A and B are shown apart, each in its own frame.
Chain A
Amino acid sequence: MTIPTFSDFESTAPLSKPPSSTDIFFDKTFRGLTHAFTLGTILLLGYIVLTIGGKALPAFSDYGFGFLASTTWDVNAGQFGILPEIWGTLYSSILALIIGGFFGITIAIFLTQDFLPYKVEMVLKTIIELLAAIPSVVYGLWGIFCLIPLIRPLADFLHESLGFIPFFSTSLSGPGLFPAALVLAIMILPTVAAVSQDALRAIPHKTKEAAFGMGATRWEAILRVMLPTASTGIFGALVLGFGRALGETMALAMLVGNANQISLSLFSPANTLAALLALNFPEAGKLETPVLMYAACILLLITLVVNIAGSLIMASTSSGVKR
């Protein structure tokens, strides 16, 4: 009994040949390159975290965890704390997520559930995605010169008539948390809308058919079937939008007011970590640089935690489901 070899196969089918040595070479090279680039990305992330962490180490040993709880920022006295900035970052981002998330998901429903002819859907989708192409600094200028004057009457009215509510307890003096959050909301809207649309479009037609077949009205089909089915993807859209809002710098630095204070009021000036970094680095001395690096580490940590937690939640909700 003979064991067949590759030469036997070749002889039986004259038009079929094994991969040539060049094919094998390209195959191996391509595979090697993809592995190298993937590994490179992971190493780069590690390198960035390590170097920033290394630069922040002196500040960490000087100020410890008190840095996170202190509210003073006095270069001359050598006292630093970023609690107001952490507060401002989270407050403005959560506000932006609520506003931008609401409108983004609403737009996604409107553009995917047969409210409009397909061509009109596509044109509107493109226009909304163009919002993402506007540079951050342009948003900042627009906020200062258009949005703040526009919302001032509303802010004055709310402060005067409902000033006893903590959210409206101060008047809008110019830049402040609310205009910043509004602009942030517009900036994250295209991300939330686009990713939510993808999630809604990915639902098979037969699912929609099932909903209508059971006698659901259009809104019952959307609220009870389409949104729950797309919920994992929509949640991902919100996490992406929140991540973007946390790290947004330029527009925030122009609009948030850069005031080192903690206030519930929507109209008071505040500050965010990203804005703090952008505005203080140009004049930072030997004392300040490690402190800012420490703050950068905290910002990085917040965004990483948000993204990892988001991924974990998405993985746990979609597990056990065959699609």
Chain B
Amino acid sequence: MDTAPLATSDAPIDDMAPGDVVLDCQADQIHYGDFLAVRDSHVPIRKNQITGFIGPSGCGKSTVLKSINRMNDLIRGFRFNGQVHFHGMDIYDKKVDPVSVRRNIGMVFQQPNPFSMSIYENVAFGLRLNRFRGNIAKKVEKALRGAALWDEVKNKLKNNGLSLSGGQQQRLCIARAIATEPQVLLMDEPCSALDPIATRQIEELMVQLKERYTVAIVTHNMQQAQRVADQTAFFAVDISKGGRTGYLVEMAPTAHLFENPKQKLTKEYLQGEFS
């Protein structure tokens, strides 16, 4: 598995300048069985920036995010029409192994989900999966420092990851995701299960992370998008054809979108006229 094309690709991503589109998600149609969940959404993700996905419940923002690293392949009946361009290839190409996609595009979930193993082993998990031969302890420390968790756990690395508080668990999950240094980090409402203090810590962390990684985050919290996102994509639900199909209404640099939305729907949503 670790010899799959993506893992060994030497596409010149590091030559890209910050702000270049590193991952281009063109979701024409996403189905769950017969249900059309998302249509016509084109979301470019830019290097070393945070791209925020906002919108009301059921607008398909999580579905689009989870399509980017093929997490939705785990759901029966999932079909993706469109392309996700990454490293000059289509992630949905038949030749691409979804496992190698997930090793290059990390994910942090809505609920903190550390494994029931030690803090150290949680962070080392991805390194061991990729058969990393170097100094694992060093990489674990680096990842925990990167997730702003090192000082809190350095004396109890052998404790179970589940013994930490909710906010610490989520930072542990971030450390686990960045330990293998993926180029893109997807975050699906990473703060929705956390209190305001833990939320603020994660937000500060995200801003630090974009120095080295490219981040896409789904949030139901518009203030959060305003605080952290460089680009914001606004999704809405189309109920005109009887179903509840999500689609991208508008995408722009965050300040533009919030101060000067082009679409009426965006303006109404941002002013809290519907939810």
Write the residues of chain A forming the contact surface with B, with a CB cutoff of 8 angstroms.
204, 206-207, 209-217, 220, 224-225, 228-229, 320-323
B100: interface (CB < 8 Å): yes
Interface size class on chain B is 20 to 34
What separation, in Å, do the CA atoms of A320 and B109 have in the docked complex?
24
Write the residues of chain B forming the contact surface with A, with a CB cutoff of 8 angstroms.
1, 69, 71, 74, 99-104, 106-107, 109, 111, 113-117, 125-126, 128-130, 159-160, 162-163, 173, 176-177, 180
Known: A214-B177, A215-B100, A217-B1. A209 touches B71 (CB 8 A): yes
User: Residues of B contacting A229 with CB < 8 Å?
Assistant: 115-116
User: Residues of B contacting A207 with CB < 8 Å?
Assistant: 113, 115-116
Q: Which of B69, B162, B176, B177 contacts A323 (CB 8 A)?
A: B162
| Contact yes or no, A224 B113, CB < 8 A | no
What separation, in Å, do the CA atoms of A215 and B176 have in the docked complex?
12
User: Residues of B contacting A214 with CB < 8 Å?
Assistant: 102-103, 106, 125-126, 129, 176-177, 180
Closest chain A CB from B96 CB (angstroms): 13
Known: A206-B111, A207-B115, A321-B163. A212 touches B74 (CB 8 A): yes
- The dominant DSSP class at the A interface is helix
Known contacts A214-B103, A224-B128; can you find 4 more A-B pairs with CB under 8 A? A210-B173, A215-B101, A224-B129, A322-B162
User: Residues of B contacting A322 with CB < 8 Å?
Assistant: 162-163
Closest chain B CB from A296 CB (angstroms): 41
Closest chain A CB from B112 CB (angstroms): 8
User: Residues of B contacting A216 with CB < 8 Å?
Assistant: 99, 129
Instruction: Provide a sorted-by-A list of 9 A–B residue pairs whose CB atoms are within 8 angstroms.
Output: A206-B109, A207-B113, A207-B115, A212-B71, A212-B74, A212-B102, A320-B163, A321-B116, A321-B162
Closest chain A CB from B188 CB (angstroms): 10
User: Residues of A contacting B100 with CB < 8 Å?
Assistant: 215
Q: Which residue of B lies closest to A117 (CB)?
A: B76
